[in-house]
Amino acid sequence: MKANELKNAFESAFDLVALIDSHSYARAAQKKHKDIPEIPYETMVVLGLAYPKRMIKHTKTHLVPSFYTFGKDYHQVLGERIEKVMHDLPFAYTYGVDNHPHDERLAATLSGLGYFAKNQLIISKTYGSYFFLAIVFIDFKLDRQIVLEANEDCGSCTKCIEACPTHALSEEGYDINRCISAFNQSKKPLTEFEMNKNYILFGCDICQMVCPKNINKGTKVHPEFELNGKEMVSITDLFSDSDREFKHKYQDMSYLWKGKTILMRNALLLLKKQKNTAYNDLIEQSLTKTSAPWYLDNAVQILEILKKEKKMS
């Protein structure tokens, strides 16, 4: 099999496909990260699968995560597509979708899939930043080394930097400790600053939505990413269901990967913003059902605020 035939096989299931030899990636990764884990095979297939931009608003009864979580969990979707392609190929392989120690964004940049933008995402000419990444490590030898540097960048544009509510982005780089998506997925008590800046149940979409490269992008919908009714999360379910009940009800959604308690904590922040006191009793009950200290710290604080709000109303 030739490299173009391997590429064609993956193009039957993915929107973006590029090949890079592992040695070239390893040299670049060592310069950036110094110590990198062993790479299992000689060739890396870097893959992208587009997802759509769809906006849904919070209500008084349901809350909404980032739109990249809409539809079936992308980890499962990309994994299933990879396995289907590899089923018909005579090569040993392994793969990763987020959950592996290699730098997907570096591999995507080196292979020419897109360029690394100021919002820390990979920008493709065709799909903007609205696509998921995966890497397949495959026992296949390329006939030549392939390393393509992206010939595009953000230029002087600073729209994502200006739009970031917490100033996590700058011309100098990225401060993960200030990133909304990072701290609303973290198992720690949030500061008052973080609680006030959070606006969503899980993740963050701001730096993508303001990006000029995303204009008229985010329109392609694969069957797995069709809306399935679980994009809006019931506040009652969050605070009433057991972990098992909730996971069964909202199974195959990528916002579940950090667990229900993270969503409960973030729901508290949104209830505070809404001045929504309808769930005070359920929040109070959660204090005896949930043992995570980082949850209890914020829950006690916010419940007190919501109780005062109810008295004033």
What whole-number distance in Å separates Cα of residue 277 and Cα of residue 154? Answer: 44
Which residue is listed with tokens 């899939």? 113
205 is annotated as an active-site residue: no
**Catalytic site residue from 98, 139, 153, 281:** 98
- Nearest Cα neighbor of 182 from 163, 157, 164, 156 is 164
CA 292 – CA 262 distance, rounded (Å)? 10
Q: Which residues contact 291 (CB under 8 A, 6 or more apart)?
A: none
Nearest to 236 by CA among 226, 222, 250: 250
Which residues are part of the catalytic machinery? 98
